[in-house]
Structure 1
């Protein structure tokens, strides 16, 4: 794909994402991320921002230029190669042909084009801005000196500069479609035509002296930022962008792809103007500093804001969260349900609300207790039943919320966690003490419990009806259905010991069940069950709800965010046609109010009629448009090769493509330049001439090839967001590996002929003696082979096993730790724990080393039988080591349970019973994925545990 195609697809993406939802984002709805020098920026003042055609983002600071690929900042400072004369940088301007102009202190001016640098003669002072005009000429705005022009003469070459206007500071330049150039200076606004500069006058009564920024909007009109407000020029007439901003000191003005104006101020933060609507963002709202000095919209639609205190990025997150501050009764939301053609009901621990678009309405119950809502269900007449925690069931009819059913009418309890109206009109209520069936025909309530039926449990949290009229129920220890009054319990415990069934997705021919061990599919045709769980690649077990959207995905809610899996591939896994399931996870970082979705009540995840998904969370309700996510998935990411190294030497891929003979390793570093979800990028590579197929790399951004034979090769790399379209790099890197002289084809042919003749002679002379010895050797081989095999197997076992305890030894654990670290992702952290038996030396000295061995064996036996320890080994002496996958919080609880279990262990030493305790030091791969460093962190944590009094778990 060429560069223009990539730019076009990126712009189309911004338009499609903007048009994919009917809800206009407010400034407060944007998702905010910030960076400072603590995060890799060389300095906190962001003087300018640009994006080059290859996709890199660039940030100018007083300590150099930061090149950003979505993961890391790469610093470019004063250097003879790049031609930057001083680290202080003020100007960054992207141009065609993947060019980037960089200007700054000491008149520094240089041009980057892909991997090459073309330093230019220095200007007379600090370069504030540069501009390439329509004729390719170079214009320079210089601090304290004025505006200068260098005429284009050839590629990367310009004539000596010419002073256009001098005696003041030039801040910014822009050119209108008619060819006129406008300059922002500290002595006013200037118009330059045919190299002649004239001051531009503002309306009567307005005389801003300092013009800080000029730009053009999408209609080619001039935008002006001044110490007396922001202005727009139309037909040579300047009018204020908004009357309320006349007295505001504006530092920068830019227009985004939706036509909104973004303004920076001297001391009042960030302003967005949408027609007559003026919105502000200040430090209290998340802005790093109140002085804004640069604003830029990237090709994915994000707004980047540079301040004196760091960098901020605003993006329309995939999710929008509604909380109590937006008008909900409560933040702890348990149930969501479509209502009417546009709205969604939201039941929380404090009441019932209705969301329509971005507006929130409230319903006041009559009488008016505070309703803690647990469940919602639509009736055929359009009313809604509301299950509560303490007040039974209410009915919502129109705007009236009134009592409907309580224990007086036959409910077994006031706590109602699921409600269903079946096809016949009967009502079903799931409660903690059984399933209640209200018959419309008889006006009677029948209670199904474990005691009077085949119900697996009384605690009912989920209800659904399939196409055959079966009533499905989910309980705390199982699931099943009722057909013609008969209860059938499904053996879901046979599938990885699943018990809790939180929710159902009903579709023709199938029922999906969200459980505490994954999602289980029931196939109507043969009534078979199949599970999709951690064994198929999902990082977690427990899912609360499963809902199918309109774009071919299943959505799963959980305590660790919202998960999306491909619908067709889910069936493939359930049918045994596919071993693993791809997934995408969304959480607070994507705009959700909380990553903790709620379960145990229904429905807690739903799709509204307009296709949006609503999920109940511990901090409000979150909304996402799956179609918008699908469009983002199709975004063709630009991919760059950041570094190519032959052996230990990095080379310039623009010029160097001959690999010297004998080079044992070739390394490629690459990056997909997507900034919306950089942590989720996936890669695949292919080396044509060596590999027939693409090699999937996951998140790995380095590919290495060793000992390639001489020949011609071409390296290809592609990137995508999960589920997205693979986008190949804008160019493929072709190279040639040179041969040694003996690797040349003609030399090889000669050597082969000589070798064949020699081998023939040797074989002829040796064949007779070999035949004589063959029979004898065969007998010896048969005898010794069996013995060697037995010996080898024993050596292999002993080399990896601790003789005393039977656990893995340190050698085996070291190997396993390295392997697991190399395969560990940020989504599934790996935790290392080192255990040390407290006061072990005292045990040896007091009771003998034999007693010490008994203690070691007792601790080892506890480790062997303790659940969910992925790898356990005797580290040495009285120390043990464990590896566990999972989030840090749950893992720490697990090791606290292990410590307590050991503390309850007693060892019989002669006539005495000896209690044993251990100290445990814990470190996580989220802190370091380096083998040695992770061990050091765990060891430091162990030392702290021992120093703090022993018999405790310490996380470093």
Structure 2
């Protein structure tokens, strides 16, 4: 289980005022209460998966931009049993392994597993204090005793020849040639060239006191840090740069090159310095740094500067803007209205009162008061003056002009209602908007213009003159425009439905297209059809207080809490109806370094563009300046990682696939998106394929749980994006297999079904057996009754007839008839006894079918005119008793029909034995019949009986006949009953 500290945000955002440093960085701070447990010495390492690693008490800490995860003896088995362990994350090698130094040896972390790195037993007592990896992948390190070691990729540890004497430093650096520089303290610097350790000789007279840091910048300069100075070595020449004197507290502790090439210098007690090659800028705990004792500095891949101190972790986030606050010299916390002159002079009118004039640059502000601070008569309108300077309108109804460096001028207008807006024309005409109408000062004359001259109402909000000479006036309830150049009369301008009437700003973008910004959105007044754009059009907010087009086709809108950049062509397309929403919208908020707060409606304006094209914006708590060509935030998606899996409240090893045993009720997945610049702004969505039908957008939440997943195979996917970027194309994924309980597994269900089928089959066989036994009992009873009654009676009749025949003197013809009767009676008795025997002993031995067919033909057609022939084809095969019996009965019935109805002269019986069945054909040359009618005549059941017998044994019966053409009966008889016929056959054959 990882020890996680979930943060609502760094300490730098807790207050209303933005903490900035060096003009271009925002400071965020994390301390112990935020989950940071820094050790006395803490290296900082950024790994390729995006995480930041730092030392902690008896372990290491990993940071993803929001949460700190601590690895110690409680969750890393390799660290157990070592409560006072000193650990230092050293480096990440080319294979992605994080190397961690400790006082008991080296550890390696990769793929979520920490293990001891068994390289050399001596490292368990000789700690590696500093290490680096060179461009070739070789790891270099310096131990506490001064040994220099190297580990080539995939090789063994090798000790460099030579030794460092009086080693007290902890710093290595590699230059572009591959040489290693080691600052060893006590005036000693070493260079590893090839496999040799060589001391560096400093020029005589160069003061080098205890060099403890070595660093190589991008221009190949080698820097050494000492207690009192920086020493630069480039092209064989040394340069010593003294550090600012801080009373012995300013000894250098670390060096790091910033993204702009300037050096960041940490000290042991004087905070930070930023060195541009000529001068030092200072930033200390008094400015917001967590502590003045700096341990380590790291520049991450995004250009952020991370500073570890004895009391916290500091992030200096490089901003897309340069920020100026009161700390940098602004005369008030809220700048208010702002006018920038082409000469570089800037005028500020804070809402708290006063008027200030001065100059701004990217790092500082210098202002003096042009008017004293009088809140009761504060400046409520500010406008550029023709020829330089500004016009200032006041709450008590005065308007005055101010020039830079000149004494305060007397008001040019007084006794007016509260002034809301001032505008000067090219001819010197001054327009003054007030709470009670519009005033015009021209040639010493003051005219009042109100609703009588066409204004919508007398409360003037904004004035603007477009390039075509039209004066536009926005009042409380609408917009009007002048109908004559002198502005004597005005006419109303219709606004689209849904738009607000109260203007906060009027601006042109592009020239000839006038826009009105209000609390409800953005309205196009002229330059195309009237149109209203707000949230539905893609704006991130309704309120629009300023608008500035840049030279790159974008429009910058001042909105509540920040700035919004839109593509101007897209904006016009939406206004024209050629598009439905804005596609390219970039928002900048407090996390992007904007100095918080929202400006009020007055005084105005708050923005200007300088001759260099830079945009200056007065925000609620400072001024930002940006180059529109460079203010493009990185919106690439952050790396997405699935960090932990918990099942029923306990962590489990993360395997892929993850197999959940039967009975597991709740699975929880913890994931993250690593963004060291703006972690809280990362947004996530996830989907459990096989369970969820669509992606679920969960905002900033970094955990998801599922309860009661049905057995099956699932695939969990999570992806994320930066606040205004695209979704990560791959994200992180994990296969889950929820095992079914025994009674729900496929083989168990199959076995249960087979057992049930066997049980049903057994019950069915038992039922059939019971039916068979009942039928056998009934057949036995019938056989007994036939034997005891009919057979006995017919037997007596036969005896009596034989006796009569023996005693009576019969003529030859009569004797012959009597013999036939006796023969027929004897044959009938024989068949009856056979039938009784068969009923008692079904399935007994029988004669071959051909023999029985010949006997049946002789009986049926004896003494008649019909000749009969029985032939056999194929090798005779035995039929099952049921098939044998029914086949014989069908032949007997067919021959009986021939005798009774056909009047045939010849009958042929053919027994053809095939591979699977016997085909029996009975063909006569008799009169034939109409099968459709004669087969259904009442009282004629022979054909029906044959069909029923054939059906019982699964045989196919065919009859071919026509009147006058004889009859052919064919029956295809199986050798044994099929399983369906056996279920229907009421006799037990086995």
Provide the TM-score with structure 2 as the length reference: 0.61
* Matches for 1:502-901 after TM superposition, within 5 Å: 502-507=504-509, 511-516=514-519, 518-522=520-524, 524=526, 530=532, 532=534, 543-547=544-548, 555-557=556-558, 560-562=561-563, 568=570, 590-608=592-610, 610-630=612-632, 632-644=633-645, 650=651, 656=657, 667-685=668-686, 696-703=697-704, 707=709, 710-711=712-713, 713=715, 715-722=717-724, 724-729=725-730, 732-733=732-733, 735=735, 737=737, 740=740
Aligned equivalent of 1:286, options 277, 285, 288: 288
State the match for 1:118 in structure 2.
115
* Residue 430 (structure 1) aligned to one of 428, 433, 447: 433
**Cα distance in structure 2, aligned partners of 1:267 and 1:173:** 22
What's the offset of the Cα at 1:571? 7.6
- Matched with 1:100 is 98
Residue by residue, what CA displacement relative to the aligned partner does 1:646-681 show, whole Å, maximum 9, x if unpaired? Answer: 675655557555666887766543333223333323
The aligned residue for residue 47 of structure 2 is: 52
Cα pair distance change 1:747/1:463, threshold 3 Å: farther
- Shift in alpha-carbon separation, 1:208–1:644, aligned structure 2, 3 A: same
1:389-414 Cα deviation digits (max 9, x unpaired): 4584445678768859733xxx7617
Cα distance 1:340–1:490, how it changes in 2: closer, same or farther (>3 A)?
same
Distance 1:529 1:70, change over 3 A: same
Contact 1:334 1:374 in 2 (8 A): no
Measured against aligned partners, the alpha-carbon deviations of 1:314-345 in whole angstroms (never above 9, x if no partner) come to: 23333434456655555543322453387655
* Alignment partner of 1:67 is 2:62: yes
Pairwise CA distance, 1:603: 1.7
Within 5 Å, which residues of 2 pair with 1:5-404? 27=22, 30-43=25-38, 45=40, 47-78=42-73, 81=76, 83-84=78-79, 85=82, 86-104=84-102, 106-121=103-118, 123-133=124-134, 136-143=137-144, 145-149=145-149, 151-152=151-152, 154=154, 158-159=156-157, 165=163, 168-169=167-168, 171-187=170-186, 188-193=188-193, 195-206=195-206, 208=208, 210-235=210-235, 238-242=238-242, 249-323=251-325, 326=328, 330-340=332-342, 345-348=347-350, 349-353=353-357, 355=359, 357-358=361-362, 373-378=379-384, 385-389=391-395, 392-395=398-401
Deviations 1:613-661 (A, max 9, x none): 333345453334444442x144453333333556756555575556668
**Which structure dedicates a bigger proportion of its chain to strand?**
1
**Which residue in 2 is equivalent to 1:932?**
none
C-alpha distance after superposition, 1:343-396 (max 9, x if no partner): 655444422435464476768879999995433445677775443445844456
SS at match of 1:679: helix
CA distance in 2, matches of 1:574, 1:38: 54
Distance 1:171 1:252 in 2: 10
Q: Which structure is larger by alpha-carbon Rg, 1 or 2?
A: 2
Q: Distance in 2 between matches of 1:672 and 1:412?
A: 62
Gaps of 5+ in 2: 1-19, 484-488, 757-990
- For the Cα contact (< 8 Å) 1:343–1:608, is it kept in 2? no
2:777 matched residue in structure 1: none
C-alpha distance after superposition, 1:494-515 (max 9, x if no partner): 859x574322244468654333
Distance in 2 (CA, whole Å) between partners of 1:677 and 1:573 is 33
Change (3 A) 1:433 1:231: same
1:34 positional shift: 2.0
Q: Is the 8 A contact 1:53 1:99 kept in 2?
A: no
Q: What is the alpha-carbon distance in structure 2 between the residues aligned to residue 643 and residue 343 of structure 1? A: 57
Verify the 8 A CA contact 2:657 2:737 in the aligned structure 1: no
1:480 aligns with 2:479: yes
Deviation at 1:749, TM superposition (A): 11
Contact 1:688/1:714 (<8 A) preserved: yes
Quote how far apart the aligned CAs of 1:296 are. Answer: 1.0
C-alpha change, 1:698 and 1:593, in structure 2 (3 Å) is: closer
Equivalent residues of 1:127, 1:141 under 8 A apart: yes
CA contact (8 A) 1:659 1:735 kept: no
In structure 2, do the counterparts of structure 1 residues 254 and 369 end up closer, same or farther at CA, with 3 Å as the change threshold?
A: closer
Cα pair distance change 1:385/1:134, threshold 3 Å: closer
Q: SS state of the match for residue 275, structure 2? A: strand
Q: Following TM superposition, by how much is the alpha carbon of 1:469 offset from its aligned partner in structure 2, in angstroms? A: 5.8
Instruction: Report the alpha carbon displacement of residue 293 of structure 1 after superposing the two structures with TM.
Output: 1.7
SS at match of 1:333: coil
Moved more, 174-183 or 69-78: 174-183
Deviation at 1:37, TM superposition (A): 0.8
1:309–1:570 CA distance, 2 compared to 1 (3 A):
farther
Distance in 1 of aligned mates of 2:753 and 2:478: 72
Q: Distance in 1 between matches of 2:572 and 2:661?
A: 49
Deviations for 1:713-770, whole angstroms, at most 9, x for unmatched residues?
Answer: 4725131232x344435x6535364675999999999999999xxxxxxxxxxxxxxx
The gaps in structure 1 that reach 5 residues or longer are 1-24, 756-956
For the residues of structure 2 that align with 1:458 and 1:45, how far apart are their CA atoms? 69
Q: Name the SS of the counterpart of 2:281 in structure 1.
A: strand
Give the deviation of 1:244 after TM superposition.
6.6
Distance 1:293 1:487, change over 3 A: same
Contact 2:479 2:501 (C-alpha < 8 Å) held by counterparts: no
Q: Is the 8 A contact 2:534 2:542 kept in 1?
A: no
Q: 1:138 to 1:594 in 2, by over 3 A?
A: closer
Call closer, same or farther: CA 1:522–1:390 in 2, change over 3 Å: same
Residues 686-732 of structure 1: CA deviation (Å, up to 9, x unaligned): 6677778765443333455674774574725131232x344435x65
**Structure 1 CA distance for aligned equivalents of residues 550 and 662 of structure 2:** 56
1: CA distance, partners of 2:571 / 2:97: 43
Instruction: Tell me how far apart the structure 1 counterparts of residues 447 and 751 of structure 2 sit (CA, whole Å).
Output: 95
Residues 126 and 142 in structure 1, CA contact (< 8 A), matched pair in contact too:
yes
